[in-house]
Amino acid sequence: MDSPPLVQWAAPILSIHLVVLFSTTLLTLGYFSVKSPLDTFPAVGHSSLITSYVTALRWTRHGDEILQEGYDKYAGRPFKVATMSKWIVILSGKQLLEDMKKAPDEVVSLRQAVAETMHVEYTLGRKPDDGCYHIDTVRSPLTRHMINKFDDIRDEIVQSFKEYIPPAKDWVTVPAFETLMHIICRTSNRYFVGLPLCRDPGYRVLNERFTHDVAISARIINSFPDFMKPWEVFNNRLKDHTASGKIPRATNQGENDLVSWLLDTCTESKHRSIDDLTMRVLTVNFAAIHTTSMAATQALFDLAIHPEYVMELRQEVKQALAELGWTKAALQRMHKVDSFLKESQRLNNMGGMLMTRKTLREWRLSDGTIIPAGTFVGVASGAMNKDERSFPEPHAFKGFRFVNETVRSDVASRGMATLDPEYVVFGYGRHACPGRFFAINEIKAILAHVLLNYDIQLENGSTVRPPNVVLETTLLPNPNARMMFRRTTSV
């Protein structure tokens, strides 16, 4: 059975639990009032103990609008928004991002925020403080080996497209997000675990379902107060998946795969177990499949409704490949492709709020604001990415907006992977997304393959971009949107 797109199940399940929570919380909290240390922060929407839940309910489907409202009103100043389980303090602007970048981990913690947001003890079956050495694996050996193993990545893209979207003279219609998720799952795992496991249907479904289930479970759990969370998770998939006692390994890659890189990176013997290694492989897949599939889908939506970019992009791809072949170096030459993807993510990045942290101690910002210990903090990245002071005509799609930046002599530091306090897609500072280099090159290679081999359009030739689905501050590509492909005759 194929894995259902994330949003097909997220919205109805989340809505049911939100209604239950809303009713229960009003009954429970309606009898008393608790003074919050965040009372001095300006709020977007309602701020009283009871009426704040009206805003929290709106947050579940209009979080992006709430953040934009707060950004327009309080840009550069901290403000707070109410969610079902907590208040979140929102930061924006260069200076406050620099504050977050400089804050030590013992004061402002990414790990604790992720642990409590994703509820890793319930969704991933591990303790919040159980180490994140797999991040070092992604940051170093996984990224470093991409040059040597690019042929494998390219081969799997070719084979996956042949299977899921065979080039044909007539139009072939496919579900966009679901199809790209299958292709990206196979391509990523060709790199992670090699042949034949990356093509094994059971292994593919395992990773796609794991990605789906973790995301859905975390969202449902976040709708409930802390004391209710352990009872809301009934199915520990991780134990089921590791019960076989097998570690995913490549059969033809020798010692050059994700498992070997994990073993090289981990320093504690307790992590050298089947259960731990399996969980790490699943976790890396979760990050690779979840976000990359969304970004690739958004890029193809933009390409379909902006056909005026196709010929220039296609010509750039052909020229780069003629000079350097299918290599990582060739992808770095594709400045227009890079700019097109960067613009697509500027307008339709999955996170309207990124860089979530939890304060472990009282934190003083450079403007003198004191954020109490135990506070969740986030950055209004979506609103910042649409600020006209940084991006003229901010709501217009300009595919080559960033070309002048990427063709400078410092191209390596100005491409899509660049960390910029005005363009916040992968975070900022030392905790920025470690897998962004792999993800960007994978999406570039996929887009280049599409440009050389297919003509594309939305179903029935529609020129209207499929509307995103909003879950809190997450923008998801429309799961029902279908795209049409045919073998191009323009190359």
Phi, psi dihedral angles at 31 (to 5 degrees) = -100, -10
- 3-class secondary-structure state, position 254: coil
- 3-class secondary-structure state, position 476: strand
Checking 412-419 for CB contacts under 8 A at 24+ apart, the result is: 412/332, 415/332, 415/335, 415/338, 415/342, 415/440, 416/338, 416/341, 416/342, 416/345, 416/440
433 labeled part of a ligand binding site: yes
- Report how far residue 99's alpha carbon sits from residue 161's, in angstroms, rounded to the nearest whole number: 44
Q: Is residue 88 a contact partner of residue 378, using CB atoms and an 8 Å limit? A: yes
CB-based burial, 423-456: b 16+ in 10 Å, e otherwise: bbbbbbeebbbbbbbbbbbbbbbbbbbbbebbbb
Q: In what order do the strands lie in the sheet with 172-175?
A: 172-175, 482-487, 454-458
Q: Is residue 45 a contact partner of residue 52, using CB atoms and an 8 Å limit? A: yes
Q: Which of 111, 107, 73 is nearest to 90 (CA)?
A: 73
- 3-class secondary-structure state, position 363: strand
- 3-class secondary-structure state, position 398: coil
Hunting for tokens 């791809």 — which residue is that? 317
CA neighbours closer than 13 Å in the CB half-sphere of residue 175:
16
Q: Is residue 459 a contact partner of residue 283, using CB atoms and an 8 Å limit? A: no
Q: Is 259 exposed, middle or buried (0-12, 13-18, 19+ CB in 10 A)?
A: buried
> What are the tokens at 152?
């494998």
Q: Is residue 363 a contact partner of residue 371, using CB atoms and an 8 Å limit? A: yes
Going by the annotation, the residues of the binding site are 433
Going by the annotation, the residues of the binding site for heme are 433
